[in-house]
Amino acid sequence: MNIKFSLHIIGNILKFLGLLMLVPAVFPLIYHEDDFWSLLISALITSGFGFILERITKPSEPIHEIERKDGFIVATLSWLGASAFGALPFIIYGALTNPADAFFESVSGFTTTGASVMTDVEILPHGILFWRSFTQWLGGIGIIVLGIAILPRLAVGGMQLMGLEASGPTAEKITPRIAETAKKLWGVYSVISVVLVLCLLFAGMPLYDSILHTFSTISTGGYSLKNASIGAYHNPVIEVIVTIFMFIGATNFVLLYWLSRGNVKRLLRSSEFKFYFFLNLIAVLLVTLQTRSTIYPSFLEALRYSSFNVMSISTTTGYATANFDLWPPFSKWLLLILMFFGACAGSTGGAIKNIRIVVLFKRCYQEIHRLIHPRAVVPVRVDRKPVSQEVLSSITGFFLLYLLVFLVASLLVMAQENLPIITAISACATTMGNVGPGLGEVGPAGNFSNLSDFTKVILSILMLLGRLELFTVLVLFTPVFWRK
Amino acid sequence: MHIIIIGAGQVGAFLARNLSHEHDIVVIEKNRDTAARLKDSHDVLVIEGDGDNPVMLKEARIEKADVMLAVSGDDKTNILASTFSASVGVPKIIVRIRDNDYLQYPEQLKKSEVFVVNPGTIISEKITSLISSPFAWKTETLARGKIKLFKLKVEEDTPIIRRRLADLGPAKAWIFVAISRNGKITIPTGETMLQHDDYVFALGIPDILDKLKEMFGVVEEEIKSAVIMGCGRLGTGAAKTLSDDGIKVKLIDSDPVKAQKAAEDLHKVLVFKGDATDSETLKEAGVESADYFLALTGDDEKNVLSALLAKSLGAKRTSVLYTKPDYIDLIEAIGVDRAISVRLALANEILSLLHIGGVAHIALVEEGKAEVLEFNITEKTKISGIPLKDVDFPEGAIIGIALRGNEIIIPRGDYVPTLNDRVIIFALPEAVKKVEKILGQ
């Protein structure tokens, strides 16, 4: 294990992150606002810290490989570091004075959760708001993927790093070189983003709003610059566009890459994509049918609100156009289940991921089949390929650990706060799944600002755990990891 | 370049690692664990599946491939993969074929622009050159036989020990290009002094071996008898070559079927069945008075143990075959005279067939701790016409020899690279890129 070298890489990444903070610093110049210095100072602190860290940990001999154990440290610390330094603009500007609040907001940004402790975002200057949404766009496809694309030294061992950061059970390469793969993924990501900005402009959203909403839509983040989220525009066209792009953001980017090269077959053959598509379809229909008879007067209106809000939850984005906390219990429970299922592997979305759910369902079926035909050999197949025993057990393990962490965290939250059970449970589920809003007091009408610092820290940790898919972070807390 | 490698075994993985720094590599491997390990450790694309499956080859984008290296352990997979590659027009195809029978028809294979590498032939050549000059620790044949690289060991009683290299006098047709001390390779200067247990690498024409022998004060005895363990393809191949050269050869194998087959195929060779890690069998085969013992089975540990046993029983010299790269420094340190790597030999042969961008990586030295490169001086070469002393030549590399027509030049500061010269460079891995910048196209 070479912790010094891991810190060297972290320094490198932070140095770059500081430079990115200069991007929002152009807005105070355009709009004549007072957040220029706070952004510049944050950038200097971040880059300066990164630069010094990089200098003092510079290895005496060039190292070409990152060891396996170092990978976990690099992945966890780069996300923790980015979140901590990403909170600086909020603190220095004074938008959030409590460090726990600022950290929560920043983690929620980078992990594309979108849960907020801000009660009024509309009073914030353009630069700070831009940074808040920009963190989601950066975190969406991944800080490390960005690092791999621009830092050649991450090439060897980069595959493992990317696997640690990427969502889903296995990471996939699309070109022989990891740096090339990372660049291609960023290419797809950027092109989709540009298309979305143009679509939103076309639908009548102002340019600044379009860019910020693009950041948080395609990354399935969910930060908005309006207190009423996308609902503030009262525009069904915008809602449809955003729904489509949330869905795209929650799709496997490797499949999108192949689609962009004209390979439709891979997408249509993907068991996960098919499952995800029909899951959304059924959920939207069920909620439409139920809310139509109880809340909304017409079928079309019910369809409009249920499709947007159900898919906002299932893609783990977290926008809202309606207060779904007022929906009937069946619909609310369905949303809670979708918070656990989450998006597809290899997407910008969070939670357990549909591929794991698909495999677990098939595993259950296999068990039943085995009872009837004890001697039959029935492999679990996904996309016509058998799933290896290791992947099967890692998926089962992940699922169990996910539930376990969720149970422990919700107990901790309930021990600390005197909240209704549904609020506490949904707060944990929504942060761990990187969704955003929960139900009850943390629902679309409320936010997370009333919680205690302790709870905010717990929820921040849950967001990081969820984004890095548990094992990457938890492995650092095992004695085996540190044993020589 | 886009290079497809079939098989991530010892040879395939080694090639993938060495080529991945500069080229895009796609490896097709059918074993799930092997594939997973390669995926984790190298920056290459690994596809799990059969190398002769057109769907897999398509996925590896064979239509875009510049080179196909079919080096899996299975002849038929390799041949099918290469046939498919030839049909889609891959410009360069190299196939590893174990079965000698395919080599009976070299014209047919040549016609389809396919290069065949055969481990048996390569190892037999290695063994022959080791046996004909046991003094050299390793011999690489370069530039189509015009140049050889010798690895020699400095002993306590070597006459040139503790003398400055500059004092050895100007050499005519050879040069010491590197010294390996405690497993670390460096490029010597005139001030460098040889020490006990150093290995030196000498580059020169094949005839210099006699001159080197004189310098090192070595008197070699002729090898008259040899005992070989292992009746596999490599063992029987080597037995045949050696016995054809007039050496008395005995073969040992623990597998009765293999022993029987070898006995039927080889007329002049006496075959024993029995375990070569058992001293009774070795004694029966006459190891006590043998000039050479060769352990050529596929089992590294068994090879080493039997060689040590043979040595303790009285065999004069021993050589073993090994495949695991980690063993390189170990085997010779514990008393086996020479270790031969099938993988390295095959990889070197394949690299020398890959003339990439005017550069030929003609040999990897010591498991890739150093490389020998060959460049042609063309109109585009930057240093063409500039005396060497005015060139900022990278540290960690040395021009060993220049070939001008049939003339051999040992370049000094006054050497001027001239059009159509061929220069042979010895370089440490970190200097390879810089050398290519100076001498490449």
- What is the rounded average pLDDT of the residues A252-266? 89
H-only helix segments in B133-207: none
Closest CA to A64 of B383, B21, B138: B21
B43–A177: do the CB atoms touch at under 8 Å?
A: yes
- Find the helix packing angle between A178-202 and A207-218, rounded to 10°: 140
pLDDT in tens, A66-121: 777 888 898 899 999 999 999 999 999 988 989 999 999 999 999 999 899 988 88
Helix (H, G, I), strand (E, B) or coil at B180: strand
Supply A14's token pair.
């932070």
- What is the rounded average pLDDT of the residues A4-17? 89
Residues linked to residue A94 through DSSP beta bridges, in sequence order: none
A176–B24: do the CB atoms touch at under 8 Å?
A: yes
- Kindly report which listed range (A328-342, A448-462, B239-253) carries the lowest average pLDDT score: B239-253
List the single residue in B25, B26, B39 with the smallest CB-CB distance to A159. B39
Residues whose CB is less than 8 angstroms from the CB of residue B337 and which lie 6 or more positions away in sequence, other chains included: B134, B317, B318, B319
Per-residue pLDDT at B349: 79
Distance from CA of B372 to the nearest CA of A (A): 22
pLDDT over 80 (residue A484): no
As a whole number of angstroms, the distance between CA A288 and CA A301 comes to 9
Distance from CA of B221 to the nearest CA of A (A): 46
Q: Identify all chain B residues contacting A155, using CB atoms and an 8 Å cutoff.
A: 43
pLDDT over 70 (residue A349): yes
Residue that wins the pLDDT comparison between A448 and A178:
A448
Per-residue pLDDT at A49: 96
Residue of B30, B43, B53, B58 to mutate, testing the A interface (most A Cβ within 10 Å of its Cβ): B43
Closest CA to A19 of A117, A197, A138, A168: A138
Distance from CA of B277 to the nearest CA of A (A): 37
Interface list for chain B against chain A, based on CB atoms closer than 8 Å = 2, 20, 24-26, 32, 39-40, 42-45, 430
Q: Identity (one letter) of the amino acid at B14?
A: F
A176–B43: do the CB atoms touch at under 8 Å?
A: yes
Helix (H, G, I), strand (E, B) or coil at B407: strand
Per-residue pLDDT at B408: 82
Residues whose CB is less than 8 angstroms from the CB of residue B113 and which lie 6 or more positions away in sequence, other chains included: B86, B91, B92, B93
pLDDT over 70 (residue A473): yes
Give pLDDT tens digits along chain B (441 positions).
889 999 988 888 888 888 887 788 999 998 888 888 888 778 888 998 888 888 888 888 888 888 899 988 888 898 888 888 888 888 888 888 887 777 777 666 665 567 788 888 888 888 887 777 777 777 777 776 778 888 888 877 777 777 777 777 666 777 888 888 887 888 888 788 888 888 888 888 877 777 777 777 777 777 888 999 988 888 888 888 888 888 899 999 988 898 888 888 888 888 988 887 888 888 888 888 888 899 998 888 999 999 999 989 888 888 898 888 778 778 878 888 888 888 888 887 787 777 654 566 667 777 778 888 888 887 777 788 888 888 888 888 888 888 887 788 888 778 888 888 888 888 887 887 788 778 766
pLDDT in tens, B67-107: 899 988 888 898 888 888 888 888 888 888 887 777 777 66
pLDDT over 90 (residue A210): yes
Per-residue pLDDT at A157: 65
Q: Identify all chain A residues contacting B42, using CB atoms and an 8 Å cutoff.
A: 156
Residue that wins the pLDDT comparison between B207 and A351:
A351
Environment class of A56 (CB within 10 Å of its CB; exposed 0-12, middle 13-18, buried 19+): exposed
Closest chain A residue to the Cα of B44, Cα to Cα = A176
Supply A19's token pair.
């430079």
Supply A469's token pair.
């898919």
pLDDT in tens, A285-323: 999 999 988 889 899 999 999 999 999 999 999 999 999
Closest CA to B189 of B172, B175, B207: B175
Q: Identify all chain A residues contacting B20, using CB atoms and an 8 Å cutoff.
A: 176
Q: What is the DSSP string of B260-296?
A: HHHHHH-SS-EEEES-TTSHHHHHHTTGGG-SEEEE-
Q: Identify all chain A residues contacting B25, using CB atoms and an 8 Å cutoff.
A: 176
Per-residue pLDDT at B280: 86
Per-residue pLDDT at A206: 94
Per-residue pLDDT at A236: 93
Closest chain A residue to the Cα of B42, Cα to Cα = A156
- Kindly report which listed range (A165-179, A298-312, A407-421, A464-478) carries the lowest average pLDDT score: A165-179
Q: Identify all chain B residues contacting A388, using CB atoms and an 8 Å cutoff.
A: 32
Residue B364's φ and ψ, nearest 5 degrees, are -105, 135
Residue of A66, A67, A175 to mutate, testing the B interface (most B Cβ within 10 Å of its Cβ): A175
Average pLDDT, chain A: 90
What is the number of CB-based contacts under 8 A between chain A and chain B?
27
What's the whole-model pTM score?
Answer: 0.79
As a whole number of angstroms, the distance between CA B361 and CA A11 comes to 37
Q: Identify all chain B residues contacting A173, using CB atoms and an 8 Å cutoff.
A: 45
Q: Identify all chain A residues contacting B48, using CB atoms and an 8 Å cutoff.
A: none
Helix (H, G, I), strand (E, B) or coil at B137: coil
Supply A307's token pair.
């499709």
B40–A177: do the CB atoms touch at under 8 Å?
A: no
Closest chain B residue to the Cα of A163, Cα to Cα = B40
Per-residue pLDDT at B117: 82
Q: Identity (one letter) of the amino acid at A387?
A: V
Residue of B23, B45, B56, B66 to mutate, testing the A interface (most A Cβ within 10 Å of its Cβ): B45
Helix (H) or strand (E) holding A273: helix A271-294
B26–A176: do the CB atoms touch at under 8 Å?
A: yes
Please answer whether residues A303 and A321 qualify as being in contact, where contact means their C-beta atoms are separated by less than 8 angstroms. no
Closest chain A residue to the Cα of B17, Cα to Cα = A156
pLDDT over 90 (residue A461): yes
A176–B32: do the CB atoms touch at under 8 Å?
A: no
Per-residue pLDDT at B169: 65
As a whole number of angstroms, the distance between CA A134 and CA A127 comes to 10
Query: Any idea how long chain A is?
Result: 484
CA distances from A201 to A192, A194, A213, A244, A327 (A): 14, 11, 11, 15, 32
H-only helix segments in A142-233: 143-150, 158-165, 178-202, 207-218
List strand residue ranges (DSSP E) for B43-143, in order: 45-48, 67-70, 92-96, 114-117, 138-142
Looking at the complex, does the CB of residue A175 fall below 8 Å from at least one CB of chain B?
yes
Distance from CA of B27 to the nearest CA of A (A): 9
Q: Identify all chain A residues contacting B430, using CB atoms and an 8 Å cutoff.
A: 62
A176–B42: do the CB atoms touch at under 8 Å?
A: no
Supply A271's token pair.
């068991």
Looking at the complex, does the CB of residue A159 fall below 8 Å from at least one CB of chain B?
yes
List the single residue in A62, A155, A388 with the smallest CB-CB distance to B43. A155
Per-residue pLDDT at B82: 87
Q: Does the ipTM surpass 0.90?
A: no
Buried-exposed string A227-239: b where 16+ CB fall within 10 A, e elsewhere: eebbbebebeebb
A173–B45: do the CB atoms touch at under 8 Å?
A: yes
pLDDT in tens, A134-147: 999 999 988 888 88
Distance from CA of B23 to the nearest CA of A (A): 9
B40–A159: do the CB atoms touch at under 8 Å?
A: yes
Residue showing tokens 């809602």: A239
